[in-house]
Amino acid sequence: MTRRRPFRAASIVIAAMLGVGALSGCGPTAPTPTPTPTGFASEEEAFAAAEATYRAYVDALNQVDLSDPSTFEEVYRWTTGDANAAERESLSGMHANGWTVSGMSEVTGFSPTSWDAGAGTIDGIACLRVADVALTDRDGNSVVSTDRPDTQSVMIVATTSADSPTGALLSVVDGSNSEQCG
């Protein structure tokens, strides 16, 4: 039977930690990013959070069944303020009018434009492919404009939020943006 030597193993681990600690003092060290009051340590973190939030929002929209309002809740989870109010009005109206939606939207690109750490806002432009999405009224007639582009440019503003898994919620989702998506 092999007898364990807890003190010997512990002394090896401690020696290794001290060796690493001594080596870390040998060269220049990069400053550790400090989170801002909004929770992001860098512009890159803020932009990544905005993109992840928008992608989660689109994923939630892709799961909506207009005949089942309980499927709207996940969309509301990713929005706040005016964006949340607009989604509630839009989805409730489509449900009340008996509309149906089919097909999936796909985020094909995201370009961050600005981050205001003090205000806790992150702006960006998303490209959303909607070519496969159909929206019909209760009689089966399309309510999609015949000149709708296959890919739409969407301006978003994400607001930092401790209540969000990504650290942000969408406060503006504006599909009337004139930016071009390829």
Q: How many folded domains does the chain comprise?
A: 1
What does pTM read for this prediction? 0.78
Check whether 160 has a pLDDT greater than 50. yes
Q: How confident is the model at residue 175 (pLDDT cuts 50, 70, 90)?
A: confident
> Closest Cα to residue 135, out of 170, 105, 108?
105
Give the CATH number for residue 44.
Answer: 3.10.450.240
Please give the residue range of the domain that contains residue 136.
Answer: 38-174
Q: Does residue 4 sit within a domain? A: no
pLDDT 10s digits, 17-32: 333 333 334 444 444 4
Q: Does residue 32 sit within a domain? A: no
Check whether 159 has a pLDDT greater than 70. yes
Give pLDDT, residue 14.
Answer: 34
Q: Does residue 23 sit within a domain? A: no
**Could you tell me if residue 11 is left (phi over 0), alpha (psi between -120 and 50 degrees) or otherwise beta?**
alpha
Give pLDDT, residue 179.
Answer: 65
Give pLDDT, residue 27.
Answer: 42
Q: Does residue 146 sit within a domain? A: yes
Q: Does residue 143 sit within a domain? A: yes
Mean pLDDT on 130-156: 93
Check whether 168 has a pLDDT greater than 90. yes
Q: Does residue 19 sit within a domain? A: no
Mean pLDDT on 123-151: 94
Q: Does residue 11 sit within a domain? A: no
> Closest Cα to residue 99, out of 68, 133, 138?
138
List, as one string, the DSSP characters of 49-95.
HHHHHHHHHHHHHHT--TT-GGGGHHHHHTB-HHHHHHHHHHHHHHH
Q: Do 143 and 27 meet the contact criterion of CB atoms below 8 Å apart?
A: no
Q: Does residue 12 sit within a domain? A: no
